[in-house]
Amino acid sequence: MFEPVPARRSRVSLPPRARLACLALILLAAGTSVLLFEPQRLLAAGWPPQLSGPVAVLVFGLAYGVCTAALVPRPILNLAAGALFGAQAGFVASLGGTVLGAGLSFALGRMLGQEALRPYVRGRWLKAADGQLSRHGFRSMLAIRLFPGMPFVVANYAAAVSRMRCLPFLLATGLGSVPNTAAYVIAGSQATSPTSPAFLISMGFIVVSAGAAAVVGWRKRHRIAARAEAPEPVAPSAEPLAAPTGPDGREPAGTGTPV
């Protein structure tokens, strides 16, 4: 009798271009859903009245993360969180949703887009930006979150395509998003009294941070441009050095090759 051959588990893996096509379809469907259904309005005006307390904050944070991954602008969600829950609870929901949405986008980009897009990182500009995120990921992402000149989703997928690790990405996102998120949430919580000091201070911080983001982005752009335009180092030649010679063209005594 023949012994049964153990069944091998078939492992199906999509090619990189097929994964990239799936990612493009997901983002297209998410963007279309945002334009048609406008979930940011549902989070504010259509919030179910029976949800309240910590459960409501948790549900809002989860919905915030999904909406952020689906390309909904974060400032609108932050304002809605402040209007619904006030400054403290709204900040907790917004920051948790920010980290969740960044993690979802990073996971999608890493699983579906990295292998397909890595071969196209060939230009000096792209190589310089990729090297900055790969070598100094936490510091670079922290600066991007503190001075949000780059769109949130673009930064997520740029980090996913690079060699940046997930944990530094999430930590930098959480820490760097604190000031800007707090400013928008406070502004949303004080939207009914636009002349209050809290509202004016928060709006002033938003304007100042936007100006600082423009300056930091301009300086970062020129630094990356200088690094991209710098000449590549030339590898040292492997040819052996010539033996020293005297005035008559002969090798001086004592410099010959020992036998």
149, 152, 155, 159: CA torsion to nearest 10: 150
Q: What is the pLDDT of residue 6?
A: 47
Q: What is the pLDDT of residue 42?
A: 66
Rounded Cα distance between 157 and 235, Å, is 34
Q: What is the pLDDT of residue 27?
A: 84
Largest CA distance in the chain: 102
- pLDDT, mean of each 10-residue run, the chain (259 residues): 44 69 85 78 68 87 92 91 92 96 92 70 63 83 86 88 91 95 94 89 89 75 58 52 56 54
Q: List, as one string, the DSSP characters of 5-22.
A: PPPPPP-----HHHHHHH
Q: What is the pLDDT of residue 7?
A: 44
Q: What is the 3-state secondary structure (H, E, C) of 149-192?
A: CCCHHHHHHHHHHCCCCHHHHHHHHHHHCHHHHHHHHHHHHCCC
Q: What is the pLDDT of residue 147?
A: 85
